[in-house]
Amino acid sequence: MSQYDSIGTRYDVIKTTSFNELERFNFQKSVGPFLQQAETAVLDLACGTGFYSCLLLDWGAGSVTGVDLSARMLAGAEARLSQTRHAKRARFVQGDGLAPKTYSASLDAFEVVTGAWFLNYAQDVNQLTCMFRTISTNLKSGGVFVGICFHPTDDVTALASALHGGVWAETGVCYRYREELPGGIGYQVQVFGLPQPGAPPSVKGVDFMCYHLKKCLYEEAARAGDMQGRLEWRSCEFLGEEWRREVGLDGNDEDWRRLQECPPLSILVVWKD
Question: Residue 272: its pLDDT value, please?
Answer: 98
Strand partners, 174: 192
Q: Residue 155 pLDDT > 70, yes or no? A: yes
Question: Residue 12: its pLDDT value, please?
Answer: 73
Question: Residue 81: its pLDDT value, please?
Answer: 96
Taking the model in full, what pTM does it have?
Answer: 0.93
Q: Among candidates 23, 144, 209, which has minimal Cα distance to 51?
A: 23
Give the integer Cα–Cα distance in Å for 161 and 134. 33
How high is the mean pLDDT of the chain?
A: 92
pLDDT classification of 169: cutoffs 50, 70, 90 = confident
Question: Residue 203: its pLDDT value, please?
Answer: 65
Question: Residue 193: its pLDDT value, please?
Answer: 85
Give the integer Cα–Cα distance in Å for 112 and 130. 18
What is the strand order of the sheet 206-213 is part of? 173-180, 186-193, 206-213
* Mean pLDDT along residues 135-141: 97
pLDDT in tens, 226-266: 999 999 999 999 999 999 999 999 989 999 998 898 899 99
Which ranges of 201-240 does DSSP label H, i.e. alpha helix?
215-224
Which ranges of 139-188 does DSSP label H, i.e. alpha helix?
156-163
Q: Residue 127 pLDDT > 70, yes or no? A: yes
Mention every residue, 6+ apart, whose C-beta is less than 8 A from residue 123: 181, 211
pLDDT in tens, 171-223: 999 899 999 999 999 999 999 887 777 666 666 778 889 999 999 999 999 99
**Cα dihedral 49, 55, 58, 63 sign:** negative
